[in-house]
Structures are given as C-alpha cells and as structure tokens.
C-alpha cells in the first residue's frame, strides 16, 4: 500500500506474504496500519510481525492478538505522547494480558507466547520495538543491516530457545532503537522460517533485483513471496513470513509551506465592545497587550459566554509565535482536567485566527499574592495542591508547561485553580515531528524557569517543579529565592549562579522542614531536586525527617555559608588592621 498525501508528507509502500509452509497451521502474523495524513503526522505509520511459539496450541492466537492489538491500541493513545512512551505502554499492557491468560490455561502447551517486532515510521525517524527472534533489517545504499538481535540461547543439543518473548513473563524487556530515515530506505521484517534459511546476501540480492523505483504494492508482495519461496526451497520447516516497507518520501523542512499553513487564517483586527467575529459578539475587552488580546464574548448560537484570545498583529510574520499560538489550542483541546483551562476545537471554516477559551471568573495568582502578603500555610497548600494536579495532568499527556508563573494561574471566587496559557507547552509527540520552525531561545520568565532550561534548552516535569517551588516561596514571603539581576544582564554559565536564600531569613515563622522542602523543589541542580511532583507535595504537608537529618548533619560552614564566609572575611580584615597598627606603633 502507498500512503496518501503529497510529497510534503511521509510516504511509504509496503507489502508482505505469509504461509504455513510445511506445517498444518500458520502461527505467524503480520500487519500494517496506514492512517490518515493527520493521524500519520502525530502517530506515524506502524507495521509489525509476530511468530507464535510452536510448542503452544494457542500460538496462532498469541501472534494474531499481538499484531492487531498493538496497532489498535497504539493508535488509541494520546497524540501528545511520544512514540516510545505510547508503544511502551501498549506493549506492557499486551504482555500482561498474554501472560495472565496463558497462566489461566495452567499448561505450557496452552500458553500465549509469541515474538513481536514492530516498527513505527514517524516524520523522519524510524522507531523499532523488538522482543524474540523475528528480525528487522534495513537496506540502504546496497547494504543490508540487521537492526535487531535475537533473544535466544542455545541448549546442549545445539537448538536455539527463546529467552524473551511476549507473554513469557510478568516483566517485559523490549529492545528499542530509533534512527533517522532516508528516502529509499527499505525495511525487511521476517520470522525465523525465512531468515533462518537464507543468507543476508541472498535476501539483499533479492530485494535489489526485484524492487525498482516503479514498484507498486503488488511488486512488494511478490518480492516478499519470492523470499518465502527461496527459504522453502532451502529446507525451511517452519511458518514463513516476510514484510517489506520502502520509504518513498520524507516530510520536508519547508519554511515557505510552514508560513503558508500558519498564516492561512488571518489575525483579526483589534476589536471593540459590540464587534462580532464569526458568531461571537464582544461584550468586554478584558486585556489588550503587545502579544495578544482577550475579549469576553457571547456565542450567539448557544448564548454561552467565553473568552476569545487573538494574537497581536505585531506577530503576523513571527512563525515561532504563531506556531506556539496554534499549539496552545491543540493542547487546550486535549488536556481535560478541572484545574486546566479548556479551549474549544477551532471553527472548521473560520477565516480568523483565534481561540475560544473557557470563561474563568476570578483573579490571577499574582493578584492573590498582592492581596495576601503573609498567607496561612493552609491557604497556600490548597492552591499548590491544585496546581500539582494540573501539572500531573500535563505530565500524563507527555507535556511540560515551561512558563509556570503567578500570572498564568487563575483562582475563581470558589477557590478553584485553573492553569492557563499553553503557548509555550512542550509536547513530546509534536517534538518528534519535523518542523523548520525552531525556538532560538528559552521561552518563559527567567525568574521562574529552571536553570537546565535556561542554559541547555532542556525542559522536563522537574523543570515545572522548579517553577512551582519558586512560586511557593514567593507566595509565603513576597520575595523570590534567587537573586537574578546578574543572570538577566549576562546570562548563566553554571547552576552555581543560582544561590538559594533561606526562606526563614525572610519569614521567621516558617519551620525548618518546610524551608528545606521548598529549597529542594527549586534546587538549581536537577539531580538534587524532587524526582516527582507527588514527592514534593508530600514534603510540603509533613516533615521529611531524612531531609532534616541530612541538613543537621552538615558542618556549620555548609549550613550557613552565606554568613560564615563574610564573618571570616571580617575577622581576617580585623587581624590585618591589628597587625598593621602594631607594626606602626613599634
């Protein structure tokens, strides 16, 4: 089959052939999924091959179930997940199902055990997932290379036995690799009934001889059958399966095309009360800034009120900004959580570029902080708990907010927290898609973004945790834990330039254990930070005795370095002055 679409998309041709050979039943299975162009952009094109273990009466069920369920479940995972995460979760779940039902059979000959090799071609990258002794080869520039290794061990009788397979154990270890794709790459997937009876040279020569630039799906199927027939003629006594995939074209990094797509919809002019855009009537201008405009609007069709967000005309040629604006709608429509602002799907035939967002009646966390300069811990915890839940929703979707700050947190009159502004959100699944638009500098406010993101452009959930820790500190005392003026002026070269100012020096009623928990959450070194949001939340509500004990065991010079060294310097200065006075007096 040839993928649909134009030459700007990933296009492949594939075909395969499978036979029982000299056995009464074919326990091999193979399948490929050609999704729509839009789905292929986010999930890629997936193919897989399986070989049920012949000692089981359920081998055919195991192999068929594996290939069909892998494809069905993989394409059901969120578009925001990266390939490795999505396929890994599917394989883990599939293995648990096979093992559980195999154990219920309570006999080895009824177990559900199979090999499984899967490839996902997404954008310009090949992802391979492999367990067992099926194989994935790549033919490039006339050279055939095996990309997988057999999970077998040899017994004393000289026969190979599987050491790893789907359904064999509760724990599944899957080999994973990703490599860049090139146009005209040919992937060959085989079961051991084929590669066990053909040399690599024989397979390579067959592929080169029978596949030409004009080959169609029928030619690929005939080539796969030719490999199977050759293996049979060489004495193969097993089921035989071969599948061939060729990359016809890869997505182009075309800045002109990207510009056309991003500017298809026109940025609307500045609106005033009473103006209409599509079926939305402006009731109030909420905010007018240099980057965007917010309006409270009435949907004339359902009489519901929303917030309309439109980009500023200042950025009509800024592709990085426009891509972020489009991504914001994409994210807001997919993250479904009570503490995350909802964004409606775009109007299918709208001419203008804008978002329709959930209307949140309330104030920003910044305003709340101004109104509560010395808040109770319980009030702070109530807000932070909801932010943690929102961030965990992002984490489950493979997303990092990257611009967490008080201005991007709203609090309703009922005390419900809503996380807003998703234009800078990093999405793992989208990061794998080829794009000519690249950020040339970290996004977000330097006062809140993590050091590893400022210096290396790398952001993870722990980076959002850093921002959250800074916010907790600021909520409690009105100041920030780090002096950032020099970083604003000259940039940062090392994490040591972030020096934490103990919270208790600013607010004396804060207990030591809480200060230590906040310090750990926004530690400049990501390795010393909490590893999970839940870990930070636990330390925020009850003392972490290990943390306190570690702190108490440190020498005084480490615990109060900011005070000890100035004191030592002052003493040395006094000594120098005293010595000078004594010398002069003599």
pLDDT tens for each residue of 508-540: 999 999 999 999 999 999 999 999 999 999 999
Right CATH number for 11-249 from 1.10.3720.10, 3.60.40.10, 3.40.50.1110, 3.40.50.1000? 3.60.40.10
Distance (Å, whole) CA 231 – CA 21: 10
- Of the pLDDT bands very low, low, confident and very high (cuts 50, 70, 90), residue 89 is very high
Structure token digits, residue 277: 């855009």
Q: Does domain 268-358 have CATH number 3.30.200.20?
A: yes
CA 92 centroid distance within chain: 18
CA 267 centroid distance within chain: 30
What's the chain's average pLDDT? Answer: 90
Residue that wins the pLDDT comparison between 446 and 165 = 165
pLDDT the model gives residue 346: 86
Q: Judge whether residue 1 has pLDDT over 50.
A: no
pLDDT the model gives residue 4: 41
Q: Judge whether residue 108 has pLDDT over 60.
A: no
Instruction: Work out the average pLDDT over 150-161.
Output: 79
Q: What is the DSSP pairing of strand 426-427 with strand 409-412?
A: unpaired
Lowest mean pLDDT among 100-104, 427-431, 539-543: 100-104
Number of C-alpha atoms within 13 angstroms, CB side, residue 481?
A: 29
The H or E element that residue 584 is part of is helix 561-585
Q: Judge whether residue 2 has pLDDT over 60.
A: no
Contact 239/191 with Cβ under 8 angstroms?
yes
Instruction: Work out the average pLDDT over 211-230.
Output: 93
Q: Judge whether residue 7 has pLDDT over 60.
A: no
Please give, one letter per residue, the 3-state secondary structure of 442-472.
Answer: CCCCCCCCCHHHHHHCCCCHHHHHHHHHHHH
Rounded to the nearest 5°, which phi and psi values hold at 410?
Answer: -110, 145
Q: Does domain 363-553 have CATH number 1.10.510.10?
A: yes
**Which residue(s) pair with 187 in the sheet?**
138, 245
pLDDT the model gives residue 564: 53
Instruction: Work out the average pLDDT over 92-115.
Output: 83
Lowest mean pLDDT among 135-144, 396-405, 431-440: 431-440
Instruction: Work out the average pLDDT over 162-190.
Output: 95
């Amino acid at each position: 089959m040839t993928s649909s679409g134009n030459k700007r998309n990933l296009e492949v041709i594939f075909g395969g052939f499978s036979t029982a050979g000299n056995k009464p039943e074919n326990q091999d299975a193979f399948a490929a999924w050609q999704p729509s162009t839009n789905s292929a952009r986010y999930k890629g094109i997936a193919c897989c091959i399986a070989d049920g273990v012949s000692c089981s009466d359920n081998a055919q069920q195991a192999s068929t179930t594996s290939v069909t369920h892998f494809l069905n479940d993989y394409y059901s995972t969120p578009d925001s997940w990266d390939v490795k995460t999505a396929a890994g979760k599917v394989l883990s779940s599939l293995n648990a199902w096979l093992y559980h039902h195999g154990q219920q059979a309570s006999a080895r000959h009824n177990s559900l055990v199979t090999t499984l090799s899967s490839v996902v071609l997404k954008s310009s990258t090949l992802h391979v997932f492999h367990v067992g002794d099926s194989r994935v080869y790549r033919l490039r520039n006339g050279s055939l290379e095996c990309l997988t290794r057999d999970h077998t061990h040899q017994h004393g009788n000289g026969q190979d036995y599987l050491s790893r397979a789907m359904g064999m154990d509760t724990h599944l270890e899957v080999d994973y690799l990703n490599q860049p794709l090139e146009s005209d790459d040919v992937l060959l997937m085989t079961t051991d009934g084929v590669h066990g009876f053909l040399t690599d040279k024989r397979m390579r020569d067959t592929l080169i001889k029978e596949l030409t630039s004009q080959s169609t799906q029928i030619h690929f199927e005939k080539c796969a059958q030719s490999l199977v027939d050759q293996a049979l003629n060489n004495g193969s006594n097993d089921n035989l399966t071969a599948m061939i995939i060729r990359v016809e074209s890869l997505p182009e990094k075309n800045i002109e095309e990207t510009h056309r797509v991003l500017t298809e919809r026109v940025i609307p002019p500045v609106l005033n009360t009473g103006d209409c855009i599509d079926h939305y009537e402006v009731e109030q201008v909420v905010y007018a800034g240099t980057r965007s405009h917010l309006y409270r609007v009435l949907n004339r069709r359902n009489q519901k009120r929303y917030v309309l967000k439109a980009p500023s005309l200042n950025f009509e040629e800024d592709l990085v900004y426009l891509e972020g604006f489009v991504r914001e709608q994409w994210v807001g429509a997919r993250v479904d959580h009570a503490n995350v602002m909802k964004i409606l799907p775009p109007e299918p035939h709208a001419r203008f570029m804008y978002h329709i967002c959930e209307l949140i009646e309330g104030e920003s966390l910044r305003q709340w902080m101004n109104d509560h300069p010395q808040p109770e811990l319980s009030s702070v915890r109530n807000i932070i708990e909801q932010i943690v839940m929102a961030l965990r929703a992002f984490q489950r979707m493979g997303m990092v907010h990257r611009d967490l700050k008080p201005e991007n947190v709203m609090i309703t009159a009922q005390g419900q927290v809503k996380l807003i502004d998703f234009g800078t959100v990093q999405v793992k699944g989208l990061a794998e898609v080829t794009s000519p638009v690249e950020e040339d500098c970290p996004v977000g406010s330097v006062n809140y973004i993590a050091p590893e993101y400022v210096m290396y452009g790398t952001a993870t959930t722990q980076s959002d945790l850093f921002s959250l820790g800074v916010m907790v500190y600021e909520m409690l005392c009105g100041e920030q834990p780090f002096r950032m003026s020099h970083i604003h002026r000259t940039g940062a070269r090392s994490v040591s330039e972030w020096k934490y100012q103990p919270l208790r020096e600013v607010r004396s009623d804060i207990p030591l254990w809480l200060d230590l928990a906040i310090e750990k959450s926004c530690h400049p070194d990501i390795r010393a930070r909490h590893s999970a949001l839940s870990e930070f939340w636990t330390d925020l509500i009850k003392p972490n005795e290990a943390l306190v004990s570690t702190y108490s065991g440190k020498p005084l010079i480490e615990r109060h370095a900011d005070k000890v060294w100035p004191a030592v310097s002052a003493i040395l200065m006094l000594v120098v002055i005293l010595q000078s006075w004594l010398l002069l007096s003599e």
